[in-house]
Chains A and B, each alone.
Chain A
Amino acid sequence: MENMAGKKPALVWAVNLSAAALVLLWLIPTVGLFVTSFRDKDQIIASGWWNAFFSSEQTERFRTDPATQTQVGAEWVIEGTALPPGSSEISAWGTKTTEPGAYAPGETVDLGDGVNLTVNADGTYKMVSPVEFDDDQRIFAQAEVPPSFSLNGYSRVLMGEGIGQAFFNTATVAIPATIIPILMAAFAAYALAWMPFKARGFLIAVIVGLLVVPLQLALIPMKLLHSSLGIQGFLGVWLAHAGFGLPLAIYLLRNYMAGLPRDIIENARVDGATEFQIFFKIILPLSFPALASFSIFQFLWTWNDLLVAKVFLPTKDQEVLTVAIAKMMGSKGGEWDLLAVAAFVSIVVPLIVFFSLQRFLVRGLLSGSVK
């Protein structure tokens, strides 16, 4: 294959550029939300995330406070500051919504009835009137706001919106829901691969059949069964995830274990090792790659699951991340500052797992699908 693409420089460039375009296309949506999660609430609405690295023009509305007026000679004066947060200098100002940038900094404008207003470049303003003020006055100030990033959103969402609690709930669901089916599947796969017994072929066929059963079918029967047996909370979710993960786990692990060399196992049996010893001392260590790849699948799947958690963990204090975020999307659809942060809190753990253990994930995928 090398001798096809490797020769012509133009073709090499074309391949590199198309690959880069494809990768960018795949990456940009995630980057957009990631950048957004570090922006200020006002800036998110004011400009697209792709502008986040440039200064943006922002207009902020202020009101004068008649309570702070002082009498200087025959005149009444109100002084204050109208400076959009994050900026040091205003570029224009105004008093009407329709013309928020009508006047230049330093300009003195007659507002009628002898009232004069001056707004300086540093944002300080002075309003002078021959009679006492009884109402407040709107001032619009425009300024170039330099890009600013902060972790404010993260601290707010983690502490205030219940996302911190949801994070621990998700971990409480995902970790046992990964380990329990692995343990069960490893024992079952060993029996199905290396212990001769009658129902073996039939069981394997059943497990292959169960691989594709949609878990939606199980929701109502299991919810009712759980409540009649008194199973609730995390135990119910663990069992449910174990049930839905087991077919794939047993299938992958059995295929892998069946490929281990027969000699090792039979020698151990001859030497008087019990099946339990063989399983723990020989089979498990040798099956590490398969165990690792299934654990990653199951962990990603249980961490990311919405449906099972929604049905089996109905109480608020046991809410997991996906359920909390789905709720936020329903009730706070436009509050991208909250959503972006919450989404990234939920994504970060799977991403770490994914990037650090990708090798095993790929190997597992290949052993499961390429024949």
Chain B
Amino acid sequence: MEQVLQALVTIAIGVGGCAFWYWASNTVLDTVYPARGPNAGSNINKANLIRPWLFVGPAVVILAAYLIYPVINTLYRSFMDKTSSNFVGTSNYSWLLADGKFHESMLNQFLWLLVVPALATFFGLLAAQLTDRIRWGNFGKSLIFMPMAISFVGAGVIWKFVYANTEGSQIGLLNAVVQAFGGDPQHWLQLPFWNNILLMVVLVWIQAGFAMVILSAALRGIPEDTIEAAIIDGANPFQIFFKIKIPQIASTIGVVWTTITITVLKVFDIVYVMTNGEWGTQVLANMMYDLLFDQSDYGRGSAVAIVIMILVLPIMWWNVRNARKELR
């Protein structure tokens, strides 16, 4: 009971404090420049210059502190030594280039970037196609979409149990299936190369629902007449799908693909809880965590963070360009 009370009080203070700022700052502005009296006109103009900043102010401060400052600070630290006290030039980066674990991380990261968006989009498209044609489609969609609500850690437990290898009777589903088909049980998460794929399966499982929801909406948005015209021209279902539907939803597939790509670049929790980067499964985000927090090496850890940032940059540039186009 005490825990609940404590939590409620803490929550009330946090949320109340935040709401108070907006109320108080606006009240002050309205008192200093009241929108009535002899100077009403000029007061309104002055207030209108200041008020947007009262509204965006807190957000801008938080964004600057939590996203912009850290990027600059991390860049700076990546050129400093372990404790950020001496300038070491590019030696953190040259250490990375020579490090075997970093090569492994980069290689795995590219494998993840290739496999996860492709498979998630594929299964999303497949699920969208199938569920859009059946009566219980919405129910089916919900169930495929559900892993989206499960944490990476929860998903890690769920799948580690699927991959479990026990002595005696197998309680891991994968090994039981393999045995039923006459194969030998394996320590799946320690099996070189394939353990990477099995970790990717977890993320595909989570992301396919996201791809399905968006692609299903896009598929339903395709004008009926383009499909009817194709049917009249004698196209078979495969031709309709690949030559009529896919080209029309290509831009949506692009959005799904890039969104999942960003998730993949940041993937940390799954690898951390399932293998912690052992047995050849290291990825960049986990390597960075390892360097920063287990080895307390701010220089090298920051350098890995900058590598992740560089990989994200093209997508960032593309997004900003599109957004500016829309604003005009």
Within 8 A of A (CB), among B87-144: 123, 126-127, 130-134, 137, 140, 142-144
Of chain B, the residue at the smallest CB distance from A344 is B154
- In the bound complex, do residue A208 and residue B26 qualify as a contact, i.e. CB atoms below 8 Å apart? no
A350-B146 Cα distance, complex, nearest whole Å:
10
Given contacts A26-B205, A183-B19, A184-B18, contact A221 B73 (CB under 8 A): yes
- In the bound complex, do residue B173 and residue A50 qualify as a contact, i.e. CB atoms below 8 Å apart? yes
Interface 0/1 of B251-286, CB less than 8 Å to A: 110011001001001101100111010000000010
Interface size class of B (residues with CB under 8 A): 35 or more
- In the bound complex, do residue B18 and residue A325 qualify as a contact, i.e. CB atoms below 8 Å apart? no
Given contacts A26-B143, A210-B68, A220-B302, contact A365 B213 (CB under 8 A): yes
A26-B20 Cα distance, complex, nearest whole Å:
45
* B308: A residues at CB distance < 8 A: 214, 216-217
Contact of A365 among B63, B150, B214 (CB under 8 A): B214
* A219: B residues at CB distance < 8 A: 70, 292
A36-B32 Cα distance, complex, nearest whole Å:
65
A contacts with B: majority SS: helix
A48 in the interface, Cβ–Cβ < 8 Å? Answer: yes
* A206: B residues at CB distance < 8 A: 63, 68
- In the bound complex, do residue B319 and residue A212 qualify as a contact, i.e. CB atoms below 8 Å apart? yes
A18-B276 Cα distance, complex, nearest whole Å:
36
A23 in the interface, Cβ–Cβ < 8 Å? Answer: yes
A274 in the interface, Cβ–Cβ < 8 Å? Answer: yes
B contacts with A: majority SS: helix
B320 in the interface, Cβ–Cβ < 8 Å? Answer: yes
Contact of B157 among A3, A204, A218, A340 (CB under 8 A): A340
Give the 7 A-B residue pairs with the shortest CB-CB distance, closest first.
Answer: A243-B66, A304-B151, A354-B149, A191-B55, A218-B70, A188-B59, A221-B73
The 17 listed contacts between A and B (C-beta, < 8 Å) are A15-B130, A19-B140, A22-B127, A22-B144, A45-B168, A48-B170, A184-B59, A209-B320, A212-B316, A214-B312, A220-B292, A239-B66, A274-B35, A275-B51, A276-B26, A306-B269, A325-B154
Q: Chain B residues in contact with chain A, CB under 8 A?
A: 3-4, 6-7, 10-11, 14-15, 18-19, 22, 26, 30, 35, 48-49, 51-53, 55-56, 58-60, 62-63, 65-71, 73-74, 77, 123, 126-127, 130-134, 137, 140, 142-154, 156-162, 164, 166, 168-173, 176, 205, 208-210, 213-214, 217-218, 221, 224, 227, 231, 237, 240, 251-252, 255-256, 259, 262, 265-266, 268-269, 272-274, 276, 285, 288-289, 292-293, 298, 301-302, 305-306, 308-309, 312, 315-316, 319-320, 322-324, 327
